[in-house]
Structure 1
Amino acid sequence: MAGLPIWYELMTADLAAAGAFYRATLGWEVPPQGEAMPGGVQYAQIGRADGTSAGGVLTLSRAMQDCGARTRWIPYFHVEDVDASVAAAEGLAAKVQMPPVSMDGVGRMAMLADPQGAPFYLMAPTPPAGQPEAKSEAFDPFKAGHCRWNELNTTDGAGALAFYEALLGWTAGMKMPMGAAGDYQFLEHAGIAIGAINPVQEGPSHWLPIFGVANIEAARAAATETGGKVTVDLQEIPGGEFALNVDDPGGAALGFVGPKGASQ
C-alpha cells in the first residue's frame, strides 16, 4: 500500500560484525558476502527464518565514508510514482540525495532527506515474477523479527508532521507530552499505527527502526555480547511490553520492543 514502509536498509562498513549482531538479536541471516555493486560495494539481503526478507545491507566503501556516508538504518516508503513524489518532496523543502533510478526486477527508487535532514527512500517496487499481488513483510506492527515501529527523531516535530502528511498522506494519532521538547506524536496511515515523531532538541534528525523481539531481555544480552551498546535501557511501554534503544557494532541506531520472559 502506498505510504507504508516496505524495506529497511542498513548501511555499514563491517558486514561480518553486522551479521553476527543481527543473527544473535533477531535471528536474521546476513550472508558473509553480498552481491557486487558498482563502486566496489556489496548488497546483501537479510533473511528471516520463515524465508522472507527483513531488508538489506549495503556496505560502505571508503570513498562513501569520506564523502560523509555513515553507518545507519534508512527506511523505504512505498509510492506509486517515484518521479512525481520526488518533485513533490522537493516542493516541500526536501533535498534529493540520489535521483530516481530503476533496477530490473526491483523497482524505481530515490533517496531524499526531509526538511530536517533525516534520510529516507521513496520506492515503487516491482512485484516478484508471477506474484503481482505480493506485499512487503518488512514492516509488521505485531510480529517479532519485523520492524514494528518507525520513530522519527527530529528537531522540528510540527514541520516533520506537515511534510509527511503532505507527501505520504499520513495522519496524526494520539500524542504524549514530552516536556520542553514537545509532543511524542503518533503516526497513522490507513488506520495502521506506523510509528511516531519523537522531538529532539539536537540533531541530526534520523529515522529509528524498532524491531520486534520475542524476549527483550535476551535481545539486550545478545546485543551487548556481540558488540552493541545500549543507549536507552529497558522501559515499559503502553500494553505491558518493553523497549530499549541500542547502537549496533558499527554505530547504527535501532530499537527493540517485546515482552520480558517469553521464549525465543
Structure 2
Amino acid sequence: MNKSTGSITDNLDTEKTVGNVFADDAKMSMRNVNVFYSDKQAIKNVSLDLARNQVTALIGPSGCGKSTFLRCLNRMNDTIDICRVEGSLLLDGDDIYHKKMDPVLLRARVGMVFQKPNPFPKSIFDNVAYGPKIHGLATHKDDLEEIVVTSLQRAGLFEEVKDRLNASGTGLSGGQQQRLCIARTIAVSPEVILMDEPASALDPIATAVIEELIDELKEKYTIAIVTHSMQQAARISQTTAYFHMGNLVEVGLTDQIFTNPAHKLTENYITGRFG
C-alpha cells in the first residue's frame, strides 16, 4: 500500500481519514465531530465508530485532541463553559447531545476512568456503592452488597480488600485505587467505559494488572482508551485511531496500524520520528 506523503505540517483539514471508520457492530457512532474552545478548534471533522465489545485505542502526540474527543463521548465537555461540540454522536442510535438526553444518566451508560485514581474519601464499600445508591439500582441492603462484591470481583480487587471493605479507599496503593475506580464505574452497569491514560501514573506491575483487566472487561463492555504508550495500545486494543493536530488521520485494525500504516504521519509517529 502506498503511504500518503507529506510532512508534519500537512494540511490535514482537506484530507480524508485513511482507513475504515465504520464498525460492523458499532456501539457508538460519531460523524463529522467538531469541538471548539471559544474560537479555537480542537477537533476537526472526526468520524469514528466504537465497535461493540472491543477496545479502541486513541493514540497521538500530546495536544492532538484525543482526550478532548474522548470527553465528548459522555459529555464531560459540558462542564467547560467555552466548549462547543458539533456533529452527530450516537449511542445505540440515540443522539447523546439531544436536549432530552440527561447527561447524568448518559454518564451512567458511558462511564469514565481518569488518568489519576480519584477514589472518594469514603470506605471501599461506599466508593463502589455510591453510584448504585444515587441511581436507585439497589432497593435492599443485600442487593447493594451483591453489586459491590460483583463490581470488585470484575475489577480484580475483591480478594485483596474483602476483609477491609470499611477501610478508606484512599489508603489503597495506586494500582488498587485505579481498580477501585474501575469497580465504581462498572457498579452502575455501564455499556461503554472510557479510559483516559488509566495506567500512566502506575508502576509496570500495576499497569500489567490494569491491562489484563481491560482485556477481560471487553467481554462485557465497549471500551475506548486514550494512551501515550504505543506498546500498550498494541497489547490491549483491537482497533487503533491515530490523531494529529485535531484530525483523525488513520483508523484501522491495530495490527495493521502498527505493521503497515497507510499514512506517512502515522508511520512517523509509531516509529518515533516525532511525538
Name whichever structure is richer in strand by fraction. Answer: 1
Superposition TM-score, scaled by structure 2 size: 0.30
Higher relative contact order (CA 8 A, sep 6+): 2
Name whichever structure is richer in helix by fraction. Answer: 2
